[in-house]
Homo-oligomer: A and B are copies of this chain.
Amino acid sequence: MFQKSRVPLYLQVARLMRHKIENGDWPYGEQIPTLDELEREYKVSRITLRGALDQLEAVGIVKRTRGLGTFVAKDLSEQRWFKLASSMDELVRTVADLKIRLLPLQGDASQPLAPAFNFGLAGPAYERLRRVHYHNEEPYCLIEIHLDKKIFDSDPQGFSSAPVVPQLAARKDVKIAHAKQVMRITVSDEDTAAHLDIGVGDPIADVCRVFLDERMQIIYYAHIQYPAQMIQIETDLLRC
């Protein structure tokens, strides 16, 4: 049943169980099926189930009591708290609403800009900001920003201590003429995994976002990585 993947069986089972809990198939607070039932359902041995449940118990998702059963101990059905914005207004609102803590990372302040996709012209100089955004003490994205040096220098304090997008949108002297972003699903490398506290090779959503001024020059370029599980995208197909 699981032969296609060489990931250890107990991890695959753990992921399926977690999926059931996120889906609400196994509701918060209720008992999950007994080991005998799970053996039949997944066609795996008791020890494999133990490994899977060890994983889930270690992060507090289930609580096991001998003689009683295993119960869902964490509500994962409302876990997805990050909606990828599809318009500038929404983007500003999303970022502003988040209570975040910024963790600045060291790095060369000025570095050449190498956009992941062709859109706009590179400007003369950029300030490079690299940081981790936190939400509820949990890292939720790793972001690397290239901000036009002139704009950054007009308020270094502000841009260094809070999300950049709302500040840009609020300024009268900065005109954003074009704004595009591309999202892909990839896997995390060692560096990203360490900062987001996930495993190397775990899926991440990789977002590249670019703002241009009227002369098609790049004033803001951001490369953002989110753990993929927390991403949700809503689209109104008839918006225009």
Contacts and interface: CB of A to CB of B under 8 A. Distances in A.
Number of identical protomers: 2
Majority DSSP secondary structure for residues of A touching B: mixed
A215 interface: no
A91 B80 CA distance: 25
A180 interface: yes
B85 A184 contact: no
8 contacts: A1-B200, A7-B8, A19-B187, A85-B237, A181-B237, A183-B232, A183-B235, A228-B228
Contacts of A229: 185-186
Contacts of A235: 84-86, 180-183
A200 B2 contact: yes
A78 to B, nearest CB: 13
Contacts of A231: 183-185
B202 A5 contact: yes
A202 B203 CA distance: 9
A186 B239 CA distance: 26
Contacts of A177: 238
Contacts of A5: 193, 198-202
Closest 9 CB pairs of A and B: A5-B199, A179-B237, A203-B203, A185-B228, A15-B201, A183-B233, A12-B201, A4-B199, A88-B237
